[in-house]
Amino acid sequence: MPPAQVNESLATLSDQLILVTVLLYLAAMIAYALELAFGRARTAVAPAKSRRLVAVGAGADSSAPAEPADEDAGPATTVPPAGWAIKSGAVAVAISWLGWATNLGGILTRGIAVDRWPWGNMYEFVVALCFASVTVFLVLLARQPIRFLGAFVTVAAALGLGFAVLFLHVQAGPVMPALNSYWIAIHVTAAVIAGGLFLVSGVSAVLYLVRNDGRLSVLPSKEQLDRIAHRAIVIAFPIWTFAVIAGALWADRAWGRYWGWDPKEVWSFITWIAYAAYLHARATAGWRGKAAMIVSLVAFGCLLFNLVGVNIFFSGLHSYADVPK
């Protein structure tokens, strides 16, 4: 079978759309940050009245010690947030959707240009993973008020795309025969969706650990951050489980065995164990708070190493990621 022809015009358009997406995600991040910093009501206390000295003891005895008598401070008032800050949040959401559309356009044009599923190498996978993370955020945003996560999810997506463009980009082209299978649409798509959910959970866990009642008070409560991180993992874990199983089925079809202790297979299993440990500790031992967040971040680190590090530092049957040297 002759190699597929590459539509260079669409491939170039895909690269340009991804660059535009990086700029849009950065613009959305700035708008989200402005709302986060200035878009909440503040409590202000009117300055106290001047203090006056009152003599203690007989009224005419000037030698009696004098003590300051505080008069009640002015009443506390709520200062509404700046109108422009509230609008910046709505603008940020609009820009996020625009970036989402260009991200999707970059994926579709890449796929059409090479006439295959557009995640056959590390560059394409990272682009899809960033798209999935923003998609998860926007879908959750439509169901619950988590706009405060926007600044952190969009900057993570922008950094991920920037890393892909600078260090992982390869020219559009055909893939090795083992990847020309419908299993890539099943296995990799599940991994991408789970990865997007895990990224949102990881962002929430980081915010939980850095949040302090005395500092970064613009962030929501730790309880809310814990709830978001937990729910994202609860949804993502069965999807990741399915991705691992689908990968084993694909391996049997491609290489004649379900499991061969390939580095990618090993780290996919390690990631599964790490997230299973988080869910088990939370369900049975009642782990909450900082300890649970640390476990979830260890699992997220395993995920990142599995998705990126294994392809860079190890060789094996999955060493077809086309990482530029």
Using 50, 70 and 90 to split pLDDT, how confident is the model at 39? low
Mean pLDDT, residues 8-34: 95
Using 50, 70 and 90 to split pLDDT, how confident is the model at 75? low
Within this chain, do residues 184 and 153 fall inside the same structural domain, yes or no? no
Question: Which pair of structure tokens corresponds to residue 136?
Answer: 């998860």
Residue 52 in domain: no
Residue 140 in domain: no
Within this chain, do residues 241 and 153 fall inside the same structural domain, yes or no? no
Residue 294 in domain: yes
* pLDDT at residue 325, as a whole number: 55
Supply the mean pLDDT for the chain. 82
Within this chain, do residues 151 and 181 fall inside the same structural domain, yes or no? no
**Contact call for residues 198 and 160 (beta carbons, < 8 A):** no
Residue 125 in domain: no
Within this chain, do residues 274 and 296 fall inside the same structural domain, yes or no? yes
Within this chain, do residues 221 and 308 fall inside the same structural domain, yes or no? yes
* pLDDT at residue 53, as a whole number: 43
Within this chain, do residues 196 and 83 fall inside the same structural domain, yes or no? no
Within this chain, do residues 315 and 190 fall inside the same structural domain, yes or no? yes
- Closest C-alpha among 182, 187, 314 to residue 323: 314
Residue 302 in domain: yes
Q: Domain tally for the chain?
A: 2
Domain boundary among 135, 169, 203: 169
Within this chain, do residues 184 and 284 fall inside the same structural domain, yes or no? yes
* pLDDT at residue 319, as a whole number: 56
Within this chain, do residues 193 and 86 fall inside the same structural domain, yes or no? no
Residue 132 in domain: no
Within this chain, do residues 153 and 199 fall inside the same structural domain, yes or no? no
Domain boundary among 133, 154, 169: 169
Q: How far is CA 2 from CA 5, 99, 184, in A?
A: 9, 36, 20
Is the pLDDT reported for residue 49 higher than 60?
no
Is the pLDDT reported for residue 50 higher than 80?
no
Residue 63 in domain: no
Phi-psi region at 240: left, alpha or beta (left = phi > 0; alpha = psi -120 to 50): alpha
Q: What confidence tens digit (pLDDT) does each residue in 272-283 have?
A: 999 999 999 888
* pLDDT at residue 311, as a whole number: 77
Residue 66 in domain: no
Mean pLDDT, residues 12-26: 96
* pLDDT at residue 264, as a whole number: 86
Is the pLDDT reported for residue 25 higher than 50?
yes
Mean pLDDT, residues 86-114: 94
Instruction: Provide the whole-model pTM.
Output: 0.81
Q: What confidence tens digit (pLDDT) does each residue in 187-239 have?
A: 989 999 999 999 999 999 999 988 866 555 677 788 889 999 999 999 999 99
- Look up the domain containing 309 and give its range: 176-325
Cα-Cα-Cα-Cα dihedral sign, residues 146, 148, 151, 156? negative
Q: Which residue has the higher pLDDT, 54 or 88?
A: 88
Mean pLDDT, residues 259-269: 86
Within this chain, do residues 200 and 311 fall inside the same structural domain, yes or no? yes
- Closest C-alpha among 244, 146, 143 to residue 195: 244
Neighbours of 43 (CB within 10 A): 8
Within this chain, do residues 273 and 294 fall inside the same structural domain, yes or no? yes
